[in-house]
Amino acid sequence: MRVSVWLGAVLLFCSGQFLSAQEVASVHADVLRTDAVTTAPMQTVTVETTTVETAPAKAAATESVTVMPSSEPLINPEDVMNGGNLIFQQQDEPVLVAPDSVAYQFYIADLEGRHGAYAPGLSEQLLGLGSVYQEQGLYQEAIKIFKRAVHLSRISNGLHSAEQIPILQRLISALVSSGDYEKADERQYYLYRVQRQLYQSDAPQMSKAMMDRANWERQAYYLSVGDTAFSRLLAMWELYRRVLSNIAETEGSYSLQLLQPLNGLLETQYLIARYNGEAPGGIQFGSGAPESSAEKNRFAMVRLSNYKQGQAVIAAIREVHLFNESEESPLAAESLLALGDWRQYHGKREAAGEAYLQAWDELAVMENSEQLLAQHFGQPQLLPTTADAHLDLAPPANIKGYAEVSYSVNQRGRVKALELVSNEPVEAHPNAEPTRLLRRIKAKKFRPRYENREPVTTENLVKSYAY
C-alpha cells in the first residue's frame, strides 16, 4: 500500500513513533505544497440492512420488518443539554417500522404462552415494544424491556451475538434520554466489547464501531462523565487513529472516507491542546513507575507532540481534498484556513498569517470569490471552529442571568476593550454577576478579519449570553 506523505506522518505520530527533523523536513513548507498526487481508484462501499421479526397487529405468524439506519437525531435537537448544542446520539440506531405497543404485548404474551419465557424470537419482539415505548417518551419502561431483551438474546444466541447489538444501541439511547449517562457509558463499553469479539480488527464493521465509540467518548468528555477526562481524550485519539489506518489500508491514502477520522483527530488535538482537567502529571520512567502511570505517560507524550500532530492531520486533510476535488472547489483552500487557525490558536501568528494569505489567494481566483472571502474573512472567527468547541459560553442548565457585552478583536486575533453593556439577573439570583463569563470571553482567540489581504481590527462587536 502506498501511503501519502502526510497520512504517513499522522499514522507515525499516532503510533508514538514521533518524527525527527531528518524524517520530516519543514512542516511549514510541505503543508503548503500543492503537488499532484496519485492513488488507486476509489472503491464502492456497500451498506447492508438488517431484518428482524416483528408482530403484526392481528396475525398468528411473524413477518419480516426492515430495520433502517436512522437519518434523524434520536433526541430532539431542541432538548439541549446544559444549554449548549451537545446531543447524545447513537450512530445508525435501528428505527423499526412497527405496530403499536398493544400489538407487541399481545404477540409477546402469545409467544410466552406457547413456548415459555425463552421463546424463540422473543427478544426481537421485546426490541419492538421497547422502541415504541422509547418513541412515546416512556424511557424507564423502554429501559426495562431492552434489558430483558438483551438478557434473552444472550441466552438464546450467545454472550457476544450480533443479535444483541441493535438492542444495546436502543438501550443506550434510552438511558441517555433518561439522563442516566453513567449507565449509558457502562453499556457503551459492553457494546464495544461485543463488537470486538464479533469483528476482525480491520473489518469495515469494526471501523464503524470504533468511530461510534470515539464519538461517544467525545460527548462523554464534554459532559464530564466519569473521573478521568484525559483517558477519554487518549481513547478518542487511539480510536480515530485505528480507523484511519484501516481505511488507508483498504481504500487508499486519498479516500474521502479518511476525512471523518481525520476531522475527529483534529478535534481531539484541539481538546488535548486546551486540556486543563485533572493533571496527568509528568512522564515517569523505569520499573519503579506504578502500572497506572502508563496511560498518563502515553498522554503526556501525545501532548508533547500536539502541535506537530495537528499540522500533520490538517496536511493530510488537504491532500485528500486536492486529489478528489475540482479546481473550483473551495475545500482545499479551506484546509489552509484550518492550518492558519491551528497556528493562530497556538500563538504562531506569523505562520498563521502565511497560511491565511495563501487561502485568500486560492479563494480569490474562484468564480464566487467575493462570497467566499466574505464568508471566511469578513468577520472575526472564534477559534477553534470545530463542533462543540465553545460550550463554556453556552447557557448553563441553571441560568443566573443574561448579559450583553461588547468587545473588539484586534489584528492579532485577541479580545480588547471588553465591556459589560447590561446585566439582568434572574429573580432567583438577584445579585448574580457574569464575572466568569467575562474571563472566558477575554481568553478567547480569533481568526482576525481581513481586508485586502491584511488583518484589521474589528470594533464594537456586541453579543448576548446567558450565564
Q: Where are the domains of the chain?
A: 5-278+307-320, 382-466
Q: Do domains 5-278+307-320 and 382-466 have the same CATH topology?
A: no
Mean per-residue pLDDT, 47-76:
35
Give the integer Cα–Cα distance in Å for 44 and 94: 23
382-466: CATH, from 3.40.109, 3.30.2420, 1.10.3470, 1.10.287:
3.30.2420
**pLDDT confidence of 287, banded at 50, 70, 90?**
very low
Give the residue-averaged pLDDT of 393-422: 95
What's the pTM?
0.75
SS3 of residue 230 by DSSP: helix
For residues 269 and 352, give the distance between their C-alpha atoms in angstroms, rounded to a whole number.
17
Average model confidence (pLDDT) for the chain? 81
Name the band, by pLDDT with cuts 50, 70 and 90, for residue 4.
low
Rounded Cα distance between 9 and 152, Å, is 47
DSSP 97: -
Closest C-alpha to 30, from 311, 361, 406, 335: 311
Sheet of strand 401-409, all strands in order from the earlier edge strand to the far edge: 415-425, 401-409, 458-466
State the pLDDT at residue 432.
Answer: 94
d(CA 442, CA 420): 12
- List pLDDT tens digits, range 227-275: 778 999 999 999 999 999 999 999 999 999 999 999 999 999 999 999 8
Q: Which of 339 and 225 is assigned the larger pLDDT? A: 339
Q: Taking Cα atoms as reference points, which of 251, 264, 279 lies closest to residue 210?
A: 264
| Lowest mean pLDDT segment, chosen from 36-40, 348-352, 385-389, 455-459 | 36-40
pLDDT of residue 343: 98
The H-or-E segment that residue 149 falls in is: helix 139-157
Topology classification of domain 5-278+307-320: 1.25.40
- With a cut of 70, say whether residue 425 has pLDDT above it: yes
Say how many Å lie between the first and final Cα of the chain, rounded.
Answer: 52
Pick from 117, 24, 125, 12: nearest CA to 65 = 125
Q: Which single residue is written with the C-alpha cell 419482539?
A: 125
The β-bridge partners of 206 are: none
Name the least confident of 17-26, 124-133, 260-269.
17-26
Reported as a single tens digit per residue, the pLDDT across 169-214 is 999 999 999 999 999 999 999 999 999 999 999 999 999 999 999 9
> Prior bond to 430 cis, omega within 30?
no
Query: Nearest CA to 163 among 4, 242, 53, 304?
Result: 53
The C-alpha angle with vertex 185 and arms to 176 and 50, in degrees rounded to 5, equals 75
